[in-house]
Chain A
Amino acid sequence: MAYIPLLAMIRKDLQLFFADRRSVIVSFVVPIAIASFFGSIFGGPSQNSEPARIAVAVIDQDGSAISKGIVVGMLGDKNFKVTSPAEAEARDAVRKGSIAAAVVIPKGFGEAAGSAFFGNGERPLLNVLFDPSRATEMAMVRGIMTQHVMEAVSKEMFGGEQGRAMVDRTLPQIQGSTIPGDQKRALMQMLSAIQSFYNQQTPAGAGGGGNGAIGITMPYTVHEEPMTAGSNIAYNGYAHSFGGMAIQFLLFAMANLGIEMLVERERGLWSRLRSAPVSKLTLIAGKMASGTIISLTILLVSFAFAIIVFGVRIQGSAIGFLGIALACSLMASAFGVLVAALGNTPATARGVTTLAVLMMVMLGGAWVPSFIFPAWLQQFTMIIPVRWAVDGLDAMSWRGIGLSGAVLPVLVLLGFAALFAAITAACFRWEEG
């Protein structure tokens, strides 16, 4: 007969949950809205979108062949979205945050850079104005600019008019210099060889970094292969964001379930339940069962939305996915009854559990993937159950790992559920007074 009270408790909790319109909206609509937003900014379905370009401005005050070459290189770079405003406008745009950086090529840059290329003269300044809040983009700009400047300078120096003139001018200077004999000989030989090389070039191919000119180029091409479920399957940022947000909000829902148990105690309902011939185990199991059903529903509805609207797919094991979802739901409902066991009043429990849930989801990688954490934090967060749930759902969705990849997350999540339930059994205040 114990199943009748158990089923009644589950049914009652589900009725109460779905009767509270605010709870339903917070548990179902809000995570979908937030996950949609996070998913879109963390990549979305990558097969359909290009990476976001960095907005930069370039101001060419030099007008030399080299500076023009740099501008051409920047314009052709897929990482940049380049504009060419006046310097004052560019400064204003960086200050307002509408562009990440502005590159100012000062007058005389090409001439000085050409000389400095062979170690003969001071290196000129390339001014970069940047938004200090966008340090990551600045690092990318620095690296990409190095490539374009080197390409433009070397191209001009090995095939352009400026290079010829500089070699013609430098040879007599070296001849008359006080450089030690061996070094002088070697430098003369190198520049003479370059002069011979220039003389073999056709006029059409020379000058201004023309089509025939060559320079230093990147000596390799990167082949990027995303390691997902398969070679034809792209990463979908929505898979992670929907998993993370669903876990966050099901934890909030379960914390609320625990707080409702404290409210029930305050309102005398718990006394009425305990006056019935029902075991403590049935009372706790009823709460955990209803909590598990609610949590599982939140998780599955969120993923169903992601599948239908954003093309998220369970690329790994569907059984593994369901196993992790169920174990995660059980863990969350055990967390809910733990809140009831450790909380004194609904008000105090609400504050503490909100903080606890936010810490768990933040450290568990529900907001941003845990791989961006420092190494020590990645290790530390292995003690957070959310980390196992998020990693497990990632493994079963976009990573496309099979059933074996679900075993450990499921076992760990069930372990956390058992731990929370054991603490609840030990600490729950069954008697009033």
Chain B
Amino acid sequence: MLEIAHLRKSFGPLVAVDDVSFALERGKLIGLLGPNGAGKTTTVSMIAGLMKPERGDVLIGGERLMGDTDSKKRQVGLVPQDLALYDELSAHANLRFFGALYGLTGKRIEKAIDEAAELVGLADRLKDRVRTYSGGMKRRLNLAAGLLHDPDILLLDEPTVGVDPQSRNAIFENLEVLKGRGKALLYTTHYMEEVERLADRIVVMDHGKVIANDTLEGLQSTFATAGDGKATLETVFLTLTGRSLRD
């Protein structure tokens, strides 16, 4: 569904992403892990079309993503790390606006809003202004806004930052539903347990490069400890990226 081939991006002398490649299949979720500054958000930005790669390709359904108005962008939904919502507008007005960016109008947008709001459990609060929402509700609305146009690929950049366990669990359940519907999900996070629960495959990045790409079981067996033999994902991660602080 989504194939990343030899992506590279630099900002002045800093190489943020260097020769990054991986593939994401329909109905699967890849957990994209890495310390701060590893290049995860830059990679997601290039996949979403926010940045132009210096080298390499983003292939969607086997076709190269080209330019701002490429219709293949309709197959991609972005759930950014920030709460990209207009606080002064109602949830409904927010969703109607984001849907219209993908050409949705009339009954189609209303149906899409109802379905997305139903999925994230906000159907009864659509008329309320977003500023009256809790942090968890805003996170769920942020997810709904990325789903409106029914994308095949969903890019989730740390979608659970700052939410309570209930909302976090609700988001996980939403994502499992989406996987069940055949969506391909790329999930960026710092929370290891989220990846352990959700990911079919784990990609670890550091210093702009992919340093591991395997299933949870594969990583655990590769980095098996001497004692009981099974390493936690956090142990694997720290073994791969080191223990020095990243700012």
A20 and B131 CA atoms in complex are apart in Å by 13
Contact A271 B50 (CB under 8 A): yes
A277 interface hit (Cβ, 8 Å): yes
B205 interface hit (Cβ, 8 Å): no
B193 interface hit (Cβ, 8 Å): no
CB distance from B64 to the nearest CB of A (A): 15
A433 interface hit (Cβ, 8 Å): yes
CB distance from A265 to the nearest CB of B (A): 10
For A5, A20, A272, A273, the residue with the greatest tally of chain B CB atoms inside 10 Å of its CB is: A272
A16 and B85 CA atoms in complex are apart in Å by 12
B133 interface hit (Cβ, 8 Å): no
B93 to chain A: which residues have CB within 8 Å? 12, 15
Q: Given contacts A277-B68, A431-B50, are A267 and B89 in contact (CB under 8 A)?
A: no
B102 to chain A: which residues have CB within 8 Å? 276-277
Chain A 260-273 per-residue mask, 1 if CB under 8 angstroms from chain B, else 0? 00000001110111
B42 interface hit (Cβ, 8 Å): yes
Chain B 81-105 per-residue mask, 1 if CB under 8 angstroms from chain A, else 0? 1111110110001001110111111
A280 and B50 CA atoms in complex are apart in Å by 11
CB distance from A155 to the nearest CB of B (A): 75
B45 interface hit (Cβ, 8 Å): yes
Which residue from chain B places its CB closest to the CB of A20 in the assembled complex? B88
Interface residues on A, range: 20 to 34
Q: Given contacts A5-B101, A267-B84, are A433 and B73 in contact (CB under 8 A)?
A: no
Chain B 37-50 per-residue mask, 1 if CB under 8 angstroms from chain A, else 0? 00000100100111
Of B68, B86, B96, the residue contacting A278 (CB under 8 A) is B68
Contact A277 B80 (CB under 8 A): no
Q: Given contacts A1-B103, A279-B69, A433-B11, are A16 and B48 in contact (CB under 8 A)?
A: no
Contact B97 A277 (CB under 8 A): no
A7 interface hit (Cβ, 8 Å): yes
Of A4, A279, A431, the residue contacting B52 (CB under 8 A) is A431
A404 and B88 CA atoms in complex are apart in Å by 44
A271 and B49 CA atoms in complex are apart in Å by 9
A1 to chain B: which residues have CB within 8 Å? 103
15 examples of A-B residue contacts, CB within 8 angstroms: A4-B103, A4-B105, A8-B96, A8-B100, A19-B89, A267-B82, A267-B84, A268-B81, A271-B50, A271-B84, A274-B50, A274-B68, A275-B50, A277-B69, A433-B45
B residues apposed to A, CB below 8 Å:
11, 16, 42, 45, 48-52, 68-71, 73-74, 76-78, 80-86, 88-89, 93, 96-98, 100-105, 145
The 9 closest A-B pairs by CB, nearest first: A268-B82, A8-B100, A276-B101, A275-B78, A277-B73, A272-B84, A268-B84, A275-B48, A268-B80
